[in-house]
């Protein structure tokens, strides 16, 4: 850019000197023709300077785009993000909750089993929630752990894949994980859902699983498929 400016300054000095010389030594008609030629030269120089500025601006835009892409920014995201609130108030269906599908209210839905009893069946969202792209469209989806109970002693844990539909979570698949297992963590890594949990060994009581296990799932259409 600096070399372009220096080049233009030199030309302006030369052209200015030529104008003075021609103005003092030419006839009227010739001076008019010379003035037109000089304006054409100046216009050409200004056009090239403007093109140089625009080329530099375009190059910077391309470089910034590549830098953001390399650093893993969100410039590939095309839709609205899911929020914790939207996930906690989404509609879910569960194999172990007969009233489904139901819409949770702040992470929970419950019904009385008997009008004359305090026992309730419920489905609730646990605090194990992960966000990430599950279907390859570039928008963050969600993977959540649900706990369901029919009113008895069982506590059934399920993994739900929630697809981002214009900022609204929609359940795409469900995978049963176990009765009274202990979910330690959940994450989404490169489109794979990773669940770290404790399951029951041969001698474990139902209340207290001790066997550590990591299970991985990928979304395949309407199913969660186990992967190694």
Q: How many CB atoms neighbour CB 90 within 10 A?
A: 21
- Domain range for 130 is 84-227
Which pLDDT value is given to residue 13? 54
78 found inside a domain:
no
217 CA to centre of own chain: 20
Which pLDDT value is given to residue 223? 95
Q: Are residues 117 and 192 in the same domain?
A: yes
Given 3-state DSSP classes, what are the helix, strand and coil percentages for the chain, each rounded to the nearest 5? 30, 40, 30
Strands 168-179 and 97-103 come out as: unpaired
The rounded distance, in Å, linking the Cα atoms of 173 and 169 is 12
Look at residues 43, 70, 97 and tell me which one is the last residue of a structural domain: 70
Which pLDDT value is given to residue 111? 87
- The mean pLDDT values, 10 residues at a time, for the chain of 228 residues are 48 50 46 50 44 46 38 44 95 82 93 81 94 95 94 89 96 95 97 97 93 97 92
Q: Are residues 120 and 52 in the same domain?
A: no
Q: Peptide bond preceding 101: is omega within 30 degrees of 0, i.e. cis?
A: yes
Q: Are residues 54 and 100 in the same domain?
A: no
Look at residues 47, 70, 93 and tell me which one is the last residue of a structural domain: 70
Q: Are residues 64 and 103 in the same domain?
A: no
Counting the structural domains of the chain, the total is 2
76 found inside a domain:
no
The residues near 165 (Cβ < 8 Å, ≥ 6 apart) are: none
75 found inside a domain:
no
């Amino acid at each position: 850019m600096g070399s372009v400016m220096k080049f233009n300054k030199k030309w302006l000095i030369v052209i200015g000197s030529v104008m003075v010389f021609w103005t003092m030594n030419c006839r009227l008609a010739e001076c008019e023709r010379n003035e037109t030629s000089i304006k054409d030269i100046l216009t050409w120089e200004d056009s090239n300077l403007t093109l140089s500025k625009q080329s530099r601006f375009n190059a910077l835009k391309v470089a910034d785009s590549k830098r953001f892409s390399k650093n893993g920014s969100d410039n590939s995201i095309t839709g609205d993000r899911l929020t914790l609130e939207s996930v906690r108030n989404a509609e879910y269906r569960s194999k172990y909750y007969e009233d489904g599908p139901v819409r949770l209210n702040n992470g929970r839905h419950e019904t009385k089993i008997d009008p004359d009893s305090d026992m309730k069946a419920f489905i609730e969202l646990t605090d194990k929630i992960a966000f990430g792209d599950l279907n390859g469209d570039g928008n963050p989806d969600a993977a959540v752990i649900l706990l369901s109970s029919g009113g008895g002693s069982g506590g059934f844990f399920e993994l739900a894949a929630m697809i981002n539909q214009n900022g609204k979570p929609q359940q795409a698949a469900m995978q049963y994980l176990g009765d009274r297992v202990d979910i330690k963590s959940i994450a989404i890594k490169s489109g794979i859902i990773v669940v770290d949990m404790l399951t029951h060994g041969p001698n474990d009581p139902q209340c207290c699983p001790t066997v550590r296990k990591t299970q991985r799932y990928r979304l395949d259409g309407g199913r969660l498929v186990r992967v190694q």
